[in-house]
Amino acid sequence: MNYPDSHLSDQQLLLDVEGELSAHEGKMARAHLSACWTCRARRQEFEGAITDFVRLHQSEFAPDLPSPSGPRALLRARMAQLSEASPRGLARFWLSRSLAVAMAACAVLALGVATSGLIVKRTGRPRLQAALYYMPDSRLTPGATVLLHRSAVCSQSAEGNRSVPVSLQRQVFQEYGIPSADPQAYEVDYLVTPALGGADDIHNLWPHSQSTTWNAHVKDALEDRLREMVCEGSLDLGEAQQEIATNWISAYKKYFQVDQPLPEHRRPRADSAR
């Protein structure tokens, strides 16, 4: 497998999410993911789908679903069939907005129960599950900056990000396919913070999940570090903007020299206005 020169298959991405790749394959996959937007975005879809399925499994609306392990195996087998028949068909299968329903259907098939009878009977319609976003979709949120020089950025106050109007927050949720999401579950976050010259533009905003390890508080710490480096002259402003827009998690790991967020960065700061 030559990951650096080609995209990871959907089956490889799922195995990576499940932690079932060998140590060597996992290392190659992580190296590829660090440089490939497309595969990172698709992997995030897998993680969100599995999270939705587990939540559905644990909810009062689906008390009879079996352990997730069985349906996940069934799902992987179905993915292999789809991959052999049509790789692009498999991609469309995964990228649809009915991911959680599809995974729940696998579980229901394991029981021999009709999906519509299990979910629609109790709710009237399938319930929208929350999606986990710790990285933005680059097609919706490529990032946007205003034309500010280092001197202009550093002469501004270092206060936290400005509040996003409710109407604009709703537009962001709509674009990400979660119009009925609980606003408290997300921070509508700036990809490039205004403190680094980021623009007040919907292309610079995304719903950052509060419940992920790589939450908005962790990103705040990175923003503060990058701004400090820019203003002391050790980092170019354009480079800081590019790094945070391309892969803010990789930038965090680089500038804090860690593989996981520092514990003090996962929580909101007492003096933070964000």
Residue 139 within any structural domain of the chain: no
112 shares its domain with 182: no
Q: At what angle do helices 87-95 and 37-58 cross, to 10 degrees?
A: 50
- Report yes or no on 236 lying in a domain: yes
Q: Is residue 155 part of a domain?
A: yes
Give the pLDDT of residue 203: 95
- Rounded Cα distance between 249 and 69, Å, is 29
Residues 205, 107, single domain; the answer is no
- Tally of structural domains, the chain: 2
pLDDT, residue 249, reads 95
Last-in-domain residue among 81, 108, 123: 123
Residue 138 lies in a domain: no
Residues 155 and 115 in one domain: no
What is the predicted pLDDT for the residue at 180? Answer: 87
Residues of the chain with pLDDT under 50: 57-69, 71, 86-129, 272-274
Q: Is residue 12 part of a domain?
A: yes
Check: pTM over 0.95? Answer yes or no.
no
Q: Are residues 14 and 113 in the same domain?
A: yes
Q: What is the pLDDT of residue 133?
A: 84
State whether 108 and 8 are in the same domain: yes
10 and 99 belong to one structural domain? yes
Q: What are residue 145's phi and psi, to 5 degrees?
A: -125, 160
Q: Alpha-carbon distance 264 to 256, whole Å?
A: 12
Last residue of a domain, which of 123, 142, 166?
Answer: 123
**Residues 251 and 224 sit within 8 Å (Cβ to Cβ):** no
Cα–Cα distance list, 149 to 194, 198, 238 (Å): 13, 12, 9
Q: Does residue 246 form part of some domain?
A: yes
113 and 64 share a domain?
Answer: yes
CB 195 within 8 A of CB 244: no
Those residues with Cβ within 8 angstroms of residue 236's Cβ, 6 or more apart along the chain or in another chain = 150, 230
In a domain, 39, yes or no: yes
Alpha-carbon gap, residue 165 to 197, rounded angstroms? 19
The answer on 157 and 115 residing in a single domain is no
129 inside domain: no
Say whether both 158 and 245 belong to one domain: yes
Question: How high is the pLDDT of residue 208?
Answer: 95
- pLDDT number for residue 38: 78
Write out the residue range of the structural domain in which residue 29 sits: 3-123
Angstrom distance (rounded) from CA 15 to CA 246: 25
Q: Domain check: are 204 and 114 in the same one?
A: no
Three-state secondary structure of the chain: CCHHHCCCCHHHHHHHHCCCCCHHHHHHHHHHHHHCHHHHHHHHHHHHHHHHHHHHHHCCCCCCCCCCHHHHHHHHHHHHHHHHHCHHHHHHHHHCCCHHHHHHHHHHHHHCCCHHHHHHHHHCCCCCCCCCCCCCCCCCCCCCECCCCHHHHHHCCCCCCCCCCHHHHHHHHHHCCCCCCCHHHEEEEECCCHHHCECCCHHHEEEEECCCCCCHHHHHHHHHHHHHHHHHCCCCHHHHHHHHHHHHHHHHHHHHCCCCCCHHHCCCCCCCCC
Residues 108 and 159 in one domain: no
How do residues 102-140 score in pLDDT, each as one tens digit? 444 444 344 333 333 223 332 333 334 457 788 999 899
Residues 175 and 254 in one domain: yes
d(C-alpha 93, C-alpha 6), whole Å = 20
